[in-house]
A and B are shown apart, each in its own frame.
Chain A
Amino acid sequence: METLAISTLLEAIYDRTGLDFREYASASLTRRIRMRMEAEQVGGVAALQERALRDPDCLERLLESFSITTTAMFRDPGFFREFRARVAPLLRTYPFRRIWQVGCSTGEEVFSMAILLQEEGLQERTRIYATDFNKAVLEKAKAGIFPLAKMKAYTENYLKAGGRGAFSDYYTARYGAARFDPALVRNVLFARHNLATDASFNDFHAILCRNVMIYFNRELQDRVHRLLHESLIRLGVLGLGDKESLALTPHESCYEPLNSHQKLFRRMR
């Protein structure tokens, strides 16, 4: 039975690396494992496990495939528009602010937030903690170099998100790449953090955790919600992905929506 073979594989990965995928949502993970089986040309999950445990490169490729790196600058522009309109004024009431961007991947969302904060005059006294469990993507995030071909779409997103400047002022184009101004992220701390296994490490005025928990099963989602709740100050703001919901989580009653259509919630208790 494939389900059993997959849970055996995930146990083996956990034993070997300490990385815990055992509570990931099975449908997406199964698809990734199947794609790895095809790419590695092995006949089954057990064979994939055997190779991964024998061949560190194969294991590395498998782990790489478990890391979701899809991201874009100002993805869901409406979210950033609302953040600017509703959350920026709240942040302004604190002398010093901490924001946690969970699962920051290759950094597109971090640079988006940094631009927004700068335009709102909030950059100086705001520290962003940008975390991911994948070390390789954090290195990319720090570099802030994104494909030039994407800048057209990102510029549109930026404008829809209520951007106040000229988007092209934030990057230098060279050799098909857009290198974003490193000064944008001078108050950003990039660090490894694994939601499945690591604890809360600070308290925050705002936490963005968008489209990260969709990859987790219900139990892990509940645990992560507890972690995020612990990590938010009272009246702090939680931002989720467009199709994510607090409904049916144990912490539903702790939050009030900041607005009706974007996923911004305020911790009330």
Chain B
Amino acid sequence: MRFDLVVIGASRGGLAACRTLLSGVPRDFPAPVVLVQHRLEDEDSPLAALLQQDCALPVVEPRDKEALLPGKVFLAPPGYHLLVDGPCFALSVDEPVHYSRPSIDVLFESAAASHGEAVLALLLTGDSVDGTAGLATVKQHGGFTVVQDPATAEAPAMPESGVAAGVADQVLKLDEMARTFRSWGSGGT
């Protein structure tokens, strides 16, 4: 399978889950990886540095209009929604969605509208229902959706919501997702 854009959404329990997942992303991963982790609005948040520890690619918070290119993991900054707008990112301070800004739905829906069937969306652990509507939109536009196996999630409600809504093309454990990522680098098969 070949995707031009990987979008990931996580809430409670997401730090550990994302670290496991990102540890599988090889340096020559062919698509940009974009991550919304629910977070408080805190200027001095260490989240990017924490995610960096197990990740071969630089983890950055994109600026407005930054180009969407492979070779980096883009983390939604605190207090902003992160959207994909064609070849670049857009930020917004629109109202929170499901009490969250950044919101997973906002990222997923913009990615689907802009990149259609080239989108791979992954929904991980959390207590929210954010992300389910976004997965539905990704599917509608021909993209592929993966939900973390709720039994393996620290907070199962969010992945369960995705599974219950019937918008998961696949339900996987984190290490299975990480293994798939690894195989997309040139070192893989």
Residues of A within 8 A of B (CB): 2, 25-28, 30-32, 68, 70, 75-78, 211, 213-215, 218, 221, 241-245, 247-248
CB-contact partner of B43 in A25, A70, A78, under 8 A: A78
Which residues does chain A contribute within 8 Å of B95, judged by CB atoms?
Answer: 70
- Contacting pair B110 A242 (CB below 8 A): no
- Contacting pair B65 A27 (CB below 8 A): no
Most chain B beta-carbon contacts within 10 A, residue among A77, A214, A245: A214
CB-contact partner of B110 in A27, A243, A247, under 8 A: A27
**Cα(A27)–Cα(B114), bound, Å:** 8
Interface size class of B (residues with CB under 8 A): 20 to 34
Residues of B within 8 A of A (CB): 43-44, 61-65, 77, 79-81, 83-86, 90-95, 106, 109-110, 113-114
Known: A27-B110, A243-B64. A76 touches B43 (CB 8 A): yes
Known: A242-B77, A243-B62, A245-B64. A68 touches B90 (CB 8 A): no
Known: A76-B43, A214-B64, A218-B65. A243 touches B80 (CB 8 A): yes
Distance in angstroms from A105 CB to nearest chain B CB is 10
Distance in angstroms from A107 CB to nearest chain B CB is 16
CB-contact partner of B90 in A27, A77, A78, under 8 A: A27
**Cα(A77)–Cα(B114), bound, Å:** 34
**Cα(A211)–Cα(B81), bound, Å:** 12
Q: Please, which residue of chain B has its CB at the minimum distance from the CB of A79? A: B43
**Cα(A7)–Cα(B62), bound, Å:** 27
| Shortest 8 CB-CB contacts between residues of A and residues of B | A27-B85, A27-B83, A70-B93, A28-B92, A214-B64, A27-B110, A27-B90, A25-B90
Most chain B beta-carbon contacts within 10 A, residue among A30, A77, A214, A243: A243
Known: A221-B65, A242-B43, A244-B64. A214 touches B91 (CB 8 A): yes
**Cα(A218)–Cα(B87), bound, Å:** 12
Which residues does chain B contribute within 8 Å of A76, judged by CB atoms?
Answer: 43, 79
Distance in angstroms from A62 CB to nearest chain B CB is 15
**Cα(A78)–Cα(B42), bound, Å:** 10
- Contacting pair B64 A213 (CB below 8 A): yes
